[in-house]
Structure 1
Amino acid sequence: MPDRRRADALRNYSRILAVAEEEVAAHGAGASLEQIARTAGVGSATVRRHFPTRHALLEAVSRERIEALRVRARDLAGADDSRGALLEWLSDLVDYCVSARGLAAALSYDGAEVDPVHENTCAATMREAVEPLVRRAARDGTVAADTAAGDLITLIVGIALATEHFPDPATQADRLFRLAVAGLSP
């Protein structure tokens, strides 16, 4: 279906999104919406018209990375080692969350009631993507039967958010992920 927005609205959307990607990469999920508007050469109302919530903006910024993760989960679904495939995908998610400041916030649950128009599609897409890997690993007995995809996403988001201000967030996030996978057993 063709996009029916006016040409200037499409240009504004593209410009806002490009600036937002740079600002989120530099400043994380808390990037200033006013700075994004100024740099894009539009008013803050224009930013809000295209992205009614910060979450909507973060999701738009993260869309390509989310799609790559969805495809990666599909590619891993046929792997011989179901636990290895699940852990590999989760490790990829950790890497993406750490490298794409703001992605963890886009995936996080903010406690607000779900708005059907602006629901958290990033989180839903990730849950749907990993669900077959989780089910298969549980069926194979390589993860606990009650392991839930949403819980794993929440765990990764927590790790990414907790480590984003460390001097080397990637190393710290990987360490915490491996600790979570191994548990506290020696």
Structure 2
Amino acid sequence: MPADGVAQFAGNAAQIGLLVVVLVAASALAFDARREMAVFLRTRVRGVASVILPAYLVTTGAAAAGLALGTLAAWYETAVLLGELPAGAVLLGLGCGVIFLAFAVAVVALMAALVRGVAAAAGCALALLLGLAVVGGLTGTAWLPVTLATATEALVRGEPAAGLLPALLLTAALTVFALIAAVRLASRREI
């Protein structure tokens, strides 16, 4: 069944890909972990938003590009080996995955503003994202952000896209909140 081919990729991307994205994002966003770097950056920019937002955008863009390339490759291989998939479902699932990655990187930015270390920021972000996944799995709640991580699989299996709207809206709101909170918390931090 063609949906199984993409489901395997979606599962790997949601686990291994997310781990890599969180680690890379923590390395980019926890600039206060290295005192010399923190002093250098904080004394040369007008505000900490000038450091956090570009790092957030570049990391999110790289993660989105990686997910897009992986999804397109999985889509192609599935079509060649197992059969065609609905294009709309695959592309909508890819969009949902990108929005989830943007949320995950925003969570890392928030954690980096709360703690100083790269490992601590990554660990806290992974714990929060894993906690959301556990809550979603135990309660069957479909409006949590982690629903978007595996949306491609659900969509190619024929589930309606309308069920993703609450998760999309909540994820977008939480992403904006996390970024605003990260900038405010980091701007109050002493070197």
- Greater relative contact order (Cα < 8 A, sep 6+): 2
TM-score range, shorter chain: 0.3 to 0.5
Q: TM-score, normalised by structure 2?
A: 0.33
Structure whose residues are more often helix by fraction: 2
